[in-house]
């Protein structure tokens, strides 16, 4: 329970109009994209770095836990309020502080929507490569905390690769700056890389200096159908072994194709299609035909059924239609999607997908897998009925088996969604005790009172 004194101190620090403890607001901020709810004690809306610094000091005085929140699209409980905590929403911190095309950088507050950064960059012939599926509404603060990524990661990397420096407030109120404004810099320890991906557990980020790249002149797309998961994933291996790096290499498994059939989105695919790859190349317009030829050569092999190419906006959109229909299509299977993101080495993808199929069969579950195959990153969606306790128990058994297999195959528990509340009990399977001990010591140094996003990322 938040004391009257603490509430009054937050109001004095931020102004009453930035502190809400009414039931409607608390309900509104009780969940993220994880199917659980925990009402926070209050919701704070800082408008500047100074607001954040002062609210952390109030939280320290009263020992109140803080749950940072950007757009609330985390699907691992990252922004789910810790019990008894106060939510710090960064929605009002959405200024672009500096846009410097000459040096290809942009300095933003954490509440800026990811697509808006890309739009701004493109106005000067540049682009911001990280492209999570939620980029139309997720915010850069959430992307930084989760090290978000999307299809372009196979060529351009992840959020962490585009962060030059940060301004932040630690859990005990220290105001810090990390990194620099240049694309080279090795002064001191790399705290920028440490904070990116730390899930809001070490510091509240109040500013980010991001690197931009020249926008590619043109894009071309291939939609490639195969008669089995293994045939498609073997082709992924061949693509990743040759010199042309695609800017997207997306996979849909047999169950994904089954899911879109009733919607009509599979009509243009050969009837024998059991797996699909979406492959994209970008760069100078005159270079694209050469890139597409090389990719097509690599994709050709056993089990290939059909290749369609697109070089203009309309035909590219047509080719992506089957993939884009998937999110809605899976919702018809069951009311709840347990969306797990896991990574294995590219060469082990086919083995992993076979394991998923076998586990789904044994546990009598509907499991749809798709994802960023060029990074070995699969989204494994267990489609379940939350009121069916037996099915939920089987789903959790299946998940535990899949996590174990991911580690055994040399992979990692999460490629982009992060750990949050949902996967932290699996973390000791991947990280050995000595390394975990060092991580806990880092947490204590940044957040000695354990106020920042408690119950996330590290296991108890």
Ligand X SMILES: Cc1cc2nc3c(=O)[nH]c(=O)nc-3n(C[C@H](O)[C@H](O)[C@H](O)COP(=O)(O)OP(=O)(O)OC[C@H]3O[C@@H](n4cnc5c(N)ncnc54)[C@H](O)[C@@H]3O)c2cc1C
Contact residues for ligand X, defined by CB under 6 A? 32-33, 67-75, 78-79, 90, 110, 132-134, 138-139, 141-143, 145-146, 148-150, 199-200, 204-205, 416-417, 453
**392: three-class secondary structure by DSSP:** helix
**CA–CA separation, 312 and 291 (whole Å):** 16
Neighbour count for residue 460 (Cβ, 10 Å):
5
Cα–Cα distances in angstroms (integers) from residue 120 to residues 112, 113, 286, 303, in the given order: 11, 11, 26, 43
Where are the strands (E) in 15-162, listed by range?
Answer: 19-20, 42-44, 66-69, 86-89, 96-100, 105-108, 126-127
**CA–CA separation, 131 and 20 (whole Å):** 32
Closest Cα to residue 365, out of 338, 383, 390, 339? 383
172 versus 357: smaller Cβ distance to ligand X: 172
The least distance separating ligand X from the CB of residue 357, rounded to whole angstroms, comes to 23
User: What residue number has its CB nearest to ligand X?
Assistant: 142
The least distance separating ligand X from the CB of residue 142, rounded to whole angstroms, comes to 2
The least distance separating ligand X from the CB of residue 270, rounded to whole angstroms, comes to 28
Burial zone of 287 (CB within 10 Å; 0-12 exposed, 13-18 middle, 19+ buried): middle
The least distance separating ligand X from the CB of residue 36, rounded to whole angstroms, comes to 13
138 versus 305: smaller Cβ distance to ligand X: 138
83 versus 133: smaller Cβ distance to ligand X: 133
H helices present in 363-459, as ranges: 389-408, 427-430, 433-446
75 versus 221: smaller Cβ distance to ligand X: 75
The least distance separating ligand X from the CB of residue 60, rounded to whole angstroms, comes to 16
The least distance separating ligand X from the CB of residue 415, rounded to whole angstroms, comes to 8
H helices present in 172-302, as ranges: 191-195, 229-241, 254-260, 288-299
Closest Cα to residue 372, out of 269, 241, 247? 247
Eight-class DSSP state of 386: T
**343: three-class secondary structure by DSSP:** strand
114 versus 228: smaller Cβ distance to ligand X: 114
394 versus 417: smaller Cβ distance to ligand X: 417
19 versus 299: smaller Cβ distance to ligand X: 19
77 versus 216: smaller Cβ distance to ligand X: 77
The least distance separating ligand X from the CB of residue 388, rounded to whole angstroms, comes to 23
The least distance separating ligand X from the CB of residue 75, rounded to whole angstroms, comes to 5
């Amino acid at each position: 329970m938040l004391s009257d004194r603490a509430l009054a101190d937050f109001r004095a620090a931020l102004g009453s109009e930035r502190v809400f403890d009414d039931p409607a607001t608390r309900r509104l901020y009780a969940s993220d994209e994880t199917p659980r709810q925990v009402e926070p004690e209050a919701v704070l809306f800082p408008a500047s770095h100074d607001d954040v610094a002062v609210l952390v000091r109030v939280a320290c005085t009263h020992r109140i836990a803080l749950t940072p929140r950007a757009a609330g699209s985390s699907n691992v409980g990252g922004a789910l309020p810790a019990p008894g905590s106060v939510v710090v929403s960064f929605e009002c911190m959405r200024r672009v502080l500096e846009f410097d095309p000459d040096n290809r950088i942009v300095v933003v507050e954490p509440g800026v929507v990811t697509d808006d950064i890309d739009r701004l960059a493109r106005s000067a012939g540049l682009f911001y490569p990280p492209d999570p599926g939620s980029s139309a509404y997720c915010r850069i603060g959430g992307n930084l905390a989760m090290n978000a990524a999307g299809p372009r990661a196979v060529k351009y990397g992840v959020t962490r690769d585009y962060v030059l420096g940060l301004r932040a407030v630690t859990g005990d109120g220290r105001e810090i700056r990390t990194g620099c404004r240049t694309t080279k810099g090795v002064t001191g320890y790399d705290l920028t890389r440490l904070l990116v991906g730390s899930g809001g557990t070490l510091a509240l980020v109040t500013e980010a200096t991001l690197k931009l790249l020249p926008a590619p002149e043109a894009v071309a797309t291939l939609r490639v159908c195969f008669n089995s998961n293994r045939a498609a994933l073997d082709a992924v291996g061949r693509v990743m072994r040759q010199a042309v790096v695609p800017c997207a290499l997306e996979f849909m498994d047999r169950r994904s194709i089954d899911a879109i059939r009733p919607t009509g989105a599979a009509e243009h695919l050969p009837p024998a299609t059991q797996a699909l790859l979406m492959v994209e190349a970008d760069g100078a317009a005159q270079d694209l035909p050469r890139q597409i030829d090389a990719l097509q050569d690599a994709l050709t092999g056993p089990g290939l059924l059909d290749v369609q190419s697109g070089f203009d906006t309309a035909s590219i959109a047509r080719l992506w239609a089957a993939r884009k229909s998937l999110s809605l299509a899976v919702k018809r299977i069951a009311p709840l999607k347990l969306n797990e993101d896991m990574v294995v080495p590219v060469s082990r993808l086919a083995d992993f997908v076979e394991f998923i199929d076998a586990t789904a069969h044994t546990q009598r579950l509907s499991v749809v897998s798709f994802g960023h195959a060029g990074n070995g990153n699969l989204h494994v969606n267990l489609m379940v009925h939350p009121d069916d306790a037996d099915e939920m128990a089987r789903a959790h058994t299946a998940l535990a088996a899949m996590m174990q297999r991911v580690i055994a195959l040399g992979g990692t528990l999460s490629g982009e969604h992060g750990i949050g509340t949902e996967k932290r009990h699996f973390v000791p399977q991947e990280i050995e005790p000595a390394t975990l001990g060092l991580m806990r010591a880092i947490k204590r140094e940044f957040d000695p009172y354990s106020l920042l996003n408690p119950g996330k990322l590290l296991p108890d």
